[in-house]
A = this chain, B = another copy of it.
């Protein structure tokens, strides 16, 4: 038996998120399980690293599964891609340690939140960016975003319904950049609470509009009160870019 690690990219537009659900709901995990079970003739259920929400995209989510199949690990990528819809792609497949678990092993994750900031959003951008027509002050967003870096209690940046008991996380870096009309917020950290990146994006958008400041972010982190942070920005702007396991293959 061997444990295979998949790096999975998807366009989240047409999926009810990553996690398999009852009742015929189409999810990325569900599609992967179907393709793998068809390929190996085994009953495969992958373990995913990140249960992305409905509409959220990924360039590098991670999934593992165990198989008796003799298909070489690196060939799973090709064999799966012919069985998967075009909006899900396995970018890499490789053998991993038998005890590697994508949610229990130490890692850092990088998310990107894209904002299209112009009067009108060009149609070819609409699926992968949140359209914000009010002109945002990117310098203010950059400055305020520094307050989030470091180890903090991010309780205020977590949607109701989260099961997390420990709400302390570390953000290693955050950047806000503008290229013509596109603003990109890139966040790297050791873990993220439910909707945390979308609430960070929603808060920084409020800062860009002059409705909130770095002081509000400080207060949110100190008090843990959700109302100091901004609203949850829409799913389509969010992409899980990369999950990096420091000590594991």
Contacts and interface: CB of A to CB of B under 8 A. Distances in A.
Interface of A: 9-11, 57, 59, 77, 81, 86-91, 119-124, 126-128, 239
Contacts of A11: 123-124, 126
Nearest to A121: B89
What DSSP secondary structure best describes chain A's contact surface? mixed
A123 B77 contact: no
Contacts of A10: 123
Q: How many copies does the complex hold?
A: 2
A89 B123 contact: yes
Contacts of A88: 123
Contacts of A87: 123, 126
Contacts of A127: 124, 127
B81 A123 contact: no
A9 B59 contact: no
A90 B124 contact: no
A228 to B, nearest CB: 33
A58 to B, nearest CB: 9
Nearest to A91: B120
Contacts of A89: 120-123
A126 B86 contact: yes
Contacts of A59: 122, 124
A207 to B, nearest CB: 27
A224 to B, nearest CB: 34
* List of 8 A-B pairs having minimum Cβ-Cβ separation, nearest first: A11-B123, A87-B123, A9-B122, A89-B120, A11-B124, A10-B123, A91-B120, A124-B128
B124 A57 contact: yes
A27 to B, nearest CB: 15
A50 B89 CA distance: 34
Nearest to A9: B122
